[in-house]
Structure 1
Protein backbone atom coordinates (compact mmCIF):
# COMPACT_ATOMS: atom_id res chain seq x y z
CA UNK A 1 0.00 0.00 0.00
CA UNK A 2 1.31 3.45 -0.93
CA UNK A 3 2.69 5.23 2.18
CA UNK A 4 1.45 8.55 0.75
CA UNK A 5 -2.20 7.47 1.01
CA UNK A 6 -4.21 9.05 3.81
CA UNK A 7 -5.92 6.89 6.42
CA UNK A 8 -9.36 7.02 4.79
CA UNK A 9 -8.02 5.94 1.42
CA UNK A 10 -6.09 3.08 3.01
CA UNK A 11 -9.28 1.84 4.71
CA UNK A 12 -11.24 2.06 1.45
CA UNK A 13 -8.54 0.25 -0.50
CA UNK A 14 -8.28 -2.49 2.12
CA UNK A 15 -12.07 -2.89 2.07
CA UNK A 16 -11.90 -3.25 -1.71
CA UNK A 17 -9.18 -5.87 -1.30
CA UNK A 18 -6.37 -3.92 -2.90
CA UNK A 19 -3.94 -4.81 -0.12
CA UNK A 20 -3.82 -8.23 -1.81
CA UNK A 21 -3.10 -9.21 -5.43
CA UNK A 22 -6.05 -9.52 -7.79
CA UNK A 23 -7.75 -12.92 -7.80
CA UNK A 24 -6.74 -13.73 -4.24
CA UNK A 25 -8.98 -14.07 -1.17
CA UNK A 26 -11.94 -14.43 -3.53
CA UNK A 27 -15.45 -14.04 -2.14
CA UNK A 28 -18.30 -16.00 -3.72
CA UNK A 29 -21.33 -13.71 -3.94
CA UNK A 30 -24.48 -14.89 -2.16
CA UNK A 31 -26.92 -12.04 -2.90
CA UNK A 32 -26.54 -12.53 -6.62
CA UNK A 33 -29.64 -10.68 -7.81
CA UNK A 34 -28.99 -7.33 -6.14
CA UNK A 35 -28.90 -4.45 -8.60
CA UNK A 36 -25.83 -3.12 -6.80
CA UNK A 37 -24.00 -6.47 -6.86
CA UNK A 38 -20.24 -5.94 -7.06
CA UNK A 39 -18.58 -8.42 -9.41
CA UNK A 40 -14.85 -7.98 -9.83
CA UNK A 41 -11.51 -9.70 -9.33
CA UNK A 42 -12.20 -10.25 -5.64
CA UNK A 43 -15.89 -11.15 -5.92
CA UNK A 44 -17.21 -13.91 -8.14
CA UNK A 45 -20.62 -15.31 -8.94
CA UNK A 46 -21.42 -18.97 -8.21
CA UNK A 47 -20.56 -21.33 -11.06
CA UNK A 48 -24.23 -22.19 -11.61
CA UNK A 49 -25.49 -18.59 -11.63
CA UNK A 50 -27.84 -17.59 -14.47
CA UNK A 51 -29.95 -14.41 -14.13
CA UNK A 52 -33.49 -13.94 -15.40
CA UNK A 53 -33.08 -12.30 -18.79
CA UNK A 54 -35.14 -10.64 -21.49
CA UNK A 55 -34.16 -10.34 -25.14
CA UNK A 56 -33.49 -6.87 -26.50
CA UNK A 57 -35.46 -5.80 -29.58
CA UNK A 58 -33.40 -6.12 -32.75
CA UNK A 59 -33.40 -2.35 -33.26
CA UNK A 60 -31.42 -1.94 -30.02
CA UNK A 61 -28.71 -4.39 -31.12
CA UNK A 62 -25.72 -3.64 -33.30
CA UNK A 63 -25.90 -5.32 -36.73
CA UNK A 64 -24.29 -8.72 -36.89
CA UNK A 65 -23.93 -9.14 -33.13
CA UNK A 66 -26.76 -11.65 -32.72
CA UNK A 67 -29.40 -11.74 -30.01
CA UNK A 68 -28.68 -9.71 -26.89
CA UNK A 69 -30.09 -10.20 -23.40
CA UNK A 70 -30.34 -8.10 -20.23
CA UNK A 71 -32.23 -8.24 -16.97
CA UNK A 72 -35.63 -6.58 -17.20
CA UNK A 73 -34.60 -3.42 -15.33
CA UNK A 74 -31.50 -2.89 -17.44
CA UNK A 75 -33.30 -3.72 -20.67
CA UNK A 76 -36.04 -1.16 -20.06
CA UNK A 77 -33.52 1.51 -19.08
CA UNK A 78 -31.33 0.81 -22.10
CA UNK A 79 -34.34 0.93 -24.39
CA UNK A 80 -35.32 4.36 -23.04
CA UNK A 81 -31.76 5.65 -23.38
CA UNK A 82 -31.55 4.33 -26.94
CA UNK A 83 -34.73 6.09 -28.06
CA UNK A 84 -33.98 9.34 -26.22
CA UNK A 85 -30.56 9.41 -27.88
CA UNK A 86 -32.18 8.66 -31.22
CA UNK A 87 -34.24 11.85 -31.00
CA UNK A 88 -30.90 13.68 -30.91
CA UNK A 89 -29.63 11.87 -33.99
CA UNK A 90 -27.49 9.44 -31.99
CA UNK A 91 -27.34 5.67 -32.37
CA UNK A 92 -26.54 3.79 -29.15
CA UNK A 93 -26.84 0.04 -29.63
CA UNK A 94 -25.78 -3.11 -27.80
CA UNK A 95 -22.65 -4.89 -28.98
CA UNK A 96 -22.42 -7.20 -25.99
CA UNK A 97 -24.67 -7.96 -23.03
CA UNK A 98 -25.15 -11.20 -21.09
CA UNK A 99 -22.33 -13.71 -21.27
CA UNK A 100 -22.37 -17.08 -19.54
CA UNK A 101 -19.72 -18.09 -17.04
CA UNK A 102 -18.71 -21.02 -19.25
CA UNK A 103 -18.28 -18.79 -22.30
CA UNK A 104 -16.22 -16.28 -20.32
CA UNK A 105 -14.01 -19.10 -19.04
CA UNK A 106 -13.44 -20.29 -22.61
CA UNK A 107 -12.67 -16.77 -23.87
CA UNK A 108 -10.10 -16.22 -21.13
CA UNK A 109 -8.45 -19.59 -21.72
CA UNK A 110 -8.25 -19.10 -25.48
CA UNK A 111 -6.53 -15.75 -25.08
CA UNK A 112 -3.97 -17.20 -22.67
CA UNK A 113 -3.39 -20.17 -24.96
CA UNK A 114 -2.80 -17.78 -27.88
CA UNK A 115 0.50 -16.80 -26.25
CA UNK A 116 -0.47 -13.65 -24.38
CA UNK A 117 0.66 -13.28 -20.80
CA UNK A 118 -1.84 -13.84 -18.02
CA UNK A 119 -1.27 -10.27 -16.81
CA UNK A 120 -2.10 -8.90 -20.26
CA UNK A 121 -5.23 -11.02 -20.60
CA UNK A 122 -6.36 -10.14 -17.07
CA UNK A 123 -6.12 -6.42 -17.84
CA UNK A 124 -8.69 -6.75 -20.61
CA UNK A 125 -10.69 -9.89 -19.91
CA UNK A 126 -12.41 -11.25 -16.82
CA UNK A 127 -11.94 -14.79 -15.66
CA UNK A 128 -15.03 -16.99 -15.57
CA UNK A 129 -17.38 -15.96 -12.75
CA UNK A 130 -15.80 -12.53 -12.40
CA UNK A 131 -17.40 -10.72 -15.36
CA UNK A 132 -20.15 -8.15 -14.99
CA UNK A 133 -21.60 -9.54 -18.20
CA UNK A 134 -22.75 -12.58 -16.19
CA UNK A 135 -25.18 -10.38 -14.26
CA UNK A 136 -27.31 -9.23 -17.18
CA UNK A 137 -26.69 -5.68 -15.98
CA UNK A 138 -23.77 -4.76 -18.25
CA UNK A 139 -23.81 -3.64 -21.86
CA UNK A 140 -21.05 -2.76 -24.30
CA UNK A 141 -22.55 0.03 -26.37
CA UNK A 142 -19.97 0.44 -29.11
CA UNK A 143 -17.43 -1.96 -30.53
CA UNK A 144 -14.30 -2.26 -28.36
CA UNK A 145 -12.40 0.59 -29.94
CA UNK A 146 -11.00 3.67 -28.25
CA UNK A 147 -12.09 5.86 -31.18
CA UNK A 148 -15.47 5.71 -29.46
CA UNK A 149 -14.34 8.77 -27.52
CA UNK A 150 -14.47 10.78 -30.73
CA UNK A 151 -18.10 9.87 -31.34
CA UNK A 152 -21.08 12.06 -30.62
CA UNK A 153 -22.66 9.08 -28.90
CA UNK A 154 -19.88 8.83 -26.31
CA UNK A 155 -19.84 12.55 -25.68
CA UNK A 156 -23.55 12.33 -24.90
CA UNK A 157 -23.73 9.14 -22.84
CA UNK A 158 -20.68 9.90 -20.69
CA UNK A 159 -22.66 12.82 -19.24
CA UNK A 160 -26.16 11.38 -19.44
CA UNK A 161 -26.08 7.60 -18.98
CA UNK A 162 -26.44 7.93 -15.22
CA UNK A 163 -29.87 9.50 -15.65
CA UNK A 164 -30.95 6.14 -17.06
CA UNK A 165 -29.15 4.15 -14.39
CA UNK A 166 -25.84 3.41 -16.11
CA UNK A 167 -22.23 4.27 -15.29
CA UNK A 168 -19.03 3.87 -17.26
CA UNK A 169 -17.78 1.01 -15.16
CA UNK A 170 -14.05 1.05 -15.97
CA UNK A 171 -12.99 4.72 -16.13
CA UNK A 172 -9.73 6.11 -17.39
CA UNK A 173 -6.94 6.43 -14.84
CA UNK A 174 -8.52 3.98 -12.39
CA UNK A 175 -6.95 0.79 -13.69
CA UNK A 176 -5.13 0.17 -10.41
CA UNK A 177 -8.50 0.05 -8.62
CA UNK A 178 -10.75 -1.76 -11.09
CA UNK A 179 -8.02 -4.06 -12.38
CA UNK A 180 -9.09 -3.41 -15.96
CA UNK A 181 -7.90 -1.16 -18.74
CA UNK A 182 -10.12 1.82 -19.53
CA UNK A 183 -13.31 0.70 -21.30
CA UNK A 184 -15.37 3.71 -22.42
CA UNK A 185 -17.85 1.37 -24.10
CA UNK A 186 -18.75 -0.72 -21.04
CA UNK A 187 -21.83 0.48 -19.14
CA UNK A 188 -23.17 -1.04 -15.93
CA UNK A 189 -26.75 -0.66 -14.76
CA UNK A 190 -27.19 0.38 -11.11
CA UNK A 191 -30.53 2.17 -11.27
CA UNK A 192 -30.85 5.96 -11.72
CA UNK A 193 -30.44 6.95 -8.07
CA UNK A 194 -27.31 4.91 -7.35
CA UNK A 195 -25.78 5.54 -10.77
CA UNK A 196 -26.19 9.29 -10.26
CA UNK A 197 -24.59 9.08 -6.82
CA UNK A 198 -21.62 7.14 -8.20
CA UNK A 199 -21.32 9.52 -11.17
CA UNK A 200 -21.40 12.61 -8.95
CA UNK A 201 -18.87 11.13 -6.53
CA UNK A 202 -16.21 10.72 -9.21
CA UNK A 203 -15.36 7.35 -7.67
CA UNK A 204 -15.15 3.93 -9.22
CA UNK A 205 -17.91 1.55 -8.23
CA UNK A 206 -15.35 -0.32 -6.11
CA UNK A 207 -14.52 2.82 -4.13
CA UNK A 208 -18.14 3.88 -3.76
CA UNK A 209 -19.18 0.39 -2.71
CA UNK A 210 -16.46 0.22 -0.05
CA UNK A 211 -17.32 3.67 1.31
CA UNK A 212 -21.10 3.81 1.04
CA UNK A 213 -22.63 0.36 0.58
CA UNK A 214 -20.55 -2.05 2.66
CA UNK A 215 -21.32 -1.51 6.34
Structure 2
Protein backbone atom coordinates (compact mmCIF):
# COMPACT_ATOMS: atom_id res chain seq x y z
CA UNK A 1 0.00 0.00 0.00
CA UNK A 2 2.80 2.41 0.89
CA UNK A 3 4.53 1.63 -2.40
CA UNK A 4 1.35 2.52 -4.31
CA UNK A 5 1.00 5.77 -2.39
CA UNK A 6 4.66 6.58 -3.09
CA UNK A 7 3.96 6.12 -6.81
CA UNK A 8 1.07 8.58 -6.56
CA UNK A 9 -1.82 6.11 -6.60
CA UNK A 10 -4.64 6.75 -4.17
CA UNK A 11 -5.70 3.13 -4.52
CA UNK A 12 -9.44 3.64 -4.72
CA UNK A 13 -10.90 0.16 -4.72
CA UNK A 14 -14.08 -1.83 -4.61
CA UNK A 15 -14.81 -5.47 -3.87
CA UNK A 16 -17.04 -7.64 -6.05
CA UNK A 17 -17.81 -11.34 -6.44
CA UNK A 18 -17.75 -13.37 -9.63
CA UNK A 19 -18.73 -16.89 -10.71
CA UNK A 20 -22.45 -16.51 -10.25
CA UNK A 21 -24.11 -19.39 -12.11
CA UNK A 22 -27.78 -19.93 -12.73
CA UNK A 23 -30.66 -18.54 -10.70
CA UNK A 24 -29.08 -19.10 -7.29
CA UNK A 25 -28.24 -15.90 -5.44
CA UNK A 26 -24.50 -15.41 -5.01
CA UNK A 27 -22.32 -13.17 -2.90
CA UNK A 28 -22.87 -9.53 -3.78
CA UNK A 29 -22.10 -7.10 -5.27
CA UNK A 30 -21.82 -9.02 -8.52
CA UNK A 31 -18.75 -8.18 -10.60
CA UNK A 32 -20.70 -7.40 -13.78
CA UNK A 33 -22.99 -5.01 -11.88
CA UNK A 34 -20.00 -3.35 -10.22
CA UNK A 35 -18.23 -2.86 -13.57
CA UNK A 36 -21.32 -1.08 -14.95
CA UNK A 37 -21.60 1.02 -11.79
CA UNK A 38 -17.93 2.06 -11.94
CA UNK A 39 -18.23 2.95 -15.63
CA UNK A 40 -21.39 4.98 -14.94
CA UNK A 41 -19.42 6.79 -12.23
CA UNK A 42 -16.78 7.88 -14.74
CA UNK A 43 -14.08 5.26 -14.13
CA UNK A 44 -12.04 4.83 -17.31
CA UNK A 45 -9.12 2.75 -15.98
CA UNK A 46 -9.46 -0.40 -13.93
CA UNK A 47 -6.98 -2.89 -12.48
CA UNK A 48 -8.57 -6.17 -11.41
CA UNK A 49 -6.94 -8.08 -8.55
CA UNK A 50 -8.42 -11.60 -8.23
CA UNK A 51 -7.56 -12.02 -4.55
CA UNK A 52 -9.15 -15.43 -4.10
CA UNK A 53 -7.36 -17.17 -6.96
CA UNK A 54 -3.83 -18.48 -6.53
CA UNK A 55 -3.53 -19.98 -10.02
CA UNK A 56 -4.62 -19.17 -13.55
CA UNK A 57 -7.74 -21.04 -14.61
CA UNK A 58 -11.06 -20.51 -16.40
CA UNK A 59 -12.25 -17.84 -13.96
CA UNK A 60 -9.18 -15.68 -14.53
CA UNK A 61 -8.40 -16.44 -18.17
CA UNK A 62 -11.97 -16.61 -19.51
CA UNK A 63 -14.29 -14.84 -17.09
CA UNK A 64 -12.05 -11.91 -16.10
CA UNK A 65 -9.70 -11.55 -19.08
CA UNK A 66 -12.35 -12.00 -21.74
CA UNK A 67 -15.94 -11.65 -20.51
CA UNK A 68 -15.44 -8.89 -17.95
CA UNK A 69 -12.88 -7.08 -20.12
CA UNK A 70 -15.41 -7.04 -22.97
CA UNK A 71 -18.15 -5.79 -20.65
CA UNK A 72 -15.86 -3.06 -19.32
CA UNK A 73 -15.03 -1.94 -22.86
CA UNK A 74 -18.72 -1.88 -23.82
CA UNK A 75 -19.41 0.26 -20.74
CA UNK A 76 -16.71 2.79 -21.62
CA UNK A 77 -13.79 1.66 -19.49
CA UNK A 78 -10.78 2.32 -21.72
CA UNK A 79 -7.97 0.70 -19.75
CA UNK A 80 -8.37 -2.79 -18.28
CA UNK A 81 -5.61 -4.78 -16.60
CA UNK A 82 -5.59 -7.86 -14.40
CA UNK A 83 -2.94 -8.69 -11.84
CA UNK A 84 -1.70 -12.22 -12.60
CA UNK A 85 -2.38 -15.03 -10.14
CA UNK A 86 0.50 -15.99 -7.88
CA UNK A 87 0.90 -19.42 -9.45
CA UNK A 88 4.45 -20.67 -8.97
CA UNK A 89 5.82 -17.32 -7.78
CA UNK A 90 8.80 -18.28 -5.63
CA UNK A 91 7.90 -16.07 -2.63
CA UNK A 92 4.35 -17.46 -2.61
CA UNK A 93 5.53 -21.08 -2.70
CA UNK A 94 8.08 -20.33 0.05
CA UNK A 95 5.32 -18.84 2.22
CA UNK A 96 3.15 -21.94 1.70
CA UNK A 97 6.08 -24.19 2.60
CA UNK A 98 6.78 -22.09 5.72
CA UNK A 99 3.14 -22.43 6.81
CA UNK A 100 3.39 -26.22 6.49
CA UNK A 101 6.70 -26.39 8.38
CA UNK A 102 5.30 -24.18 11.16
CA UNK A 103 2.23 -26.42 11.45
CA UNK A 104 4.03 -29.76 11.60
CA UNK A 105 5.11 -29.62 15.28
CA UNK A 106 1.47 -29.16 16.34
CA UNK A 107 0.24 -32.08 14.31
CA UNK A 108 -1.07 -35.24 15.91
CA UNK A 109 0.44 -38.50 14.68
CA UNK A 110 -2.75 -39.86 13.10
CA UNK A 111 -3.45 -36.96 10.69
CA UNK A 112 0.27 -36.69 9.90
CA UNK A 113 0.33 -40.37 8.94
CA UNK A 114 -2.83 -39.96 6.83
CA UNK A 115 -1.31 -37.02 4.96
CA UNK A 116 1.95 -38.92 4.40
CA UNK A 117 -0.02 -41.89 3.03
CA UNK A 118 -2.07 -39.64 0.76
CA UNK A 119 -5.37 -40.41 2.47
CA UNK A 120 -8.03 -37.69 2.67
CA UNK A 121 -7.87 -35.55 5.79
CA UNK A 122 -10.62 -33.33 7.12
CA UNK A 123 -10.13 -29.71 6.11
CA UNK A 124 -10.88 -28.83 9.71
CA UNK A 125 -7.70 -30.66 10.73
CA UNK A 126 -5.68 -28.88 8.05
CA UNK A 127 -7.18 -25.47 8.85
CA UNK A 128 -6.47 -25.90 12.55
CA UNK A 129 -2.79 -26.38 11.73
CA UNK A 130 -2.32 -23.00 10.10
CA UNK A 131 -2.45 -19.88 12.26
CA UNK A 132 -3.67 -17.45 9.63
CA UNK A 133 -6.65 -16.37 11.73
CA UNK A 134 -8.75 -18.25 14.19
CA UNK A 135 -12.09 -19.48 12.93
CA UNK A 136 -13.77 -17.62 15.76
CA UNK A 137 -12.15 -14.35 14.63
CA UNK A 138 -13.41 -14.92 11.12
CA UNK A 139 -16.86 -16.05 12.28
CA UNK A 140 -16.58 -19.42 10.55
CA UNK A 141 -18.77 -22.22 11.86
CA UNK A 142 -18.08 -25.89 11.36
CA UNK A 143 -20.63 -28.51 10.55
CA UNK A 144 -22.68 -29.62 7.59
CA UNK A 145 -23.93 -26.97 5.24
CA UNK A 146 -27.47 -25.97 6.12
CA UNK A 147 -29.22 -26.66 2.86
CA UNK A 148 -32.33 -24.74 2.06
CA UNK A 149 -34.87 -25.61 -0.53
CA UNK A 150 -34.07 -23.82 -3.76
CA UNK A 151 -36.77 -21.91 -5.57
CA UNK A 152 -37.23 -24.99 -7.77
CA UNK A 153 -37.94 -27.17 -4.74
CA UNK A 154 -34.96 -29.53 -5.07
CA UNK A 155 -33.16 -30.50 -1.90
CA UNK A 156 -29.65 -31.98 -1.87
CA UNK A 157 -31.17 -35.44 -1.35
CA UNK A 158 -33.44 -34.95 -4.37
CA UNK A 159 -30.43 -33.82 -6.41
CA UNK A 160 -28.55 -37.02 -5.46
CA UNK A 161 -31.53 -39.20 -6.39
CA UNK A 162 -31.98 -37.30 -9.67
CA UNK A 163 -28.28 -37.73 -10.49
CA UNK A 164 -28.36 -41.44 -9.74
CA UNK A 165 -31.46 -41.95 -11.88
CA UNK A 166 -29.76 -40.11 -14.75
CA UNK A 167 -26.62 -42.27 -14.39
CA UNK A 168 -28.74 -45.43 -14.33
CA UNK A 169 -30.60 -44.32 -17.47
CA UNK A 170 -27.36 -43.57 -19.32
CA UNK A 171 -25.89 -46.92 -18.23
CA UNK A 172 -29.02 -48.77 -19.39
CA UNK A 173 -29.04 -46.94 -22.73
CA UNK A 174 -25.33 -47.71 -23.19
CA UNK A 175 -25.90 -51.41 -22.45
CA UNK A 176 -28.80 -51.55 -24.91
CA UNK A 177 -26.67 -49.82 -27.53
CA UNK A 178 -23.83 -52.29 -26.85
CA UNK A 179 -26.19 -55.27 -27.08
CA UNK A 180 -27.32 -54.06 -30.52
CA UNK A 181 -23.67 -53.95 -31.59
CA UNK A 182 -23.51 -50.25 -32.32
CA UNK A 183 -21.90 -48.79 -29.19
CA UNK A 184 -18.58 -47.99 -30.91
CA UNK A 185 -20.27 -46.37 -33.91
CA UNK A 186 -22.53 -44.37 -31.61
CA UNK A 187 -19.57 -43.13 -29.58
CA UNK A 188 -17.63 -42.10 -32.68
CA UNK A 189 -20.69 -40.31 -34.04
CA UNK A 190 -21.16 -38.53 -30.72
CA UNK A 191 -24.67 -39.88 -30.27
CA UNK A 192 -24.14 -42.18 -27.31
CA UNK A 193 -26.29 -43.37 -25.76
CA UNK A 194 -29.49 -42.00 -27.21
CA UNK A 195 -28.77 -41.76 -30.93
CA UNK A 196 -30.63 -44.95 -31.80
CA UNK A 197 -33.83 -44.10 -29.91
TM-score by length of 1: 0.20
Greater radius of gyration (CA):
2
Q: Which has the higher contact order (CA 8 A, sep 6+)?
A: 1
Q: Which has the higher strand share?
A: 1
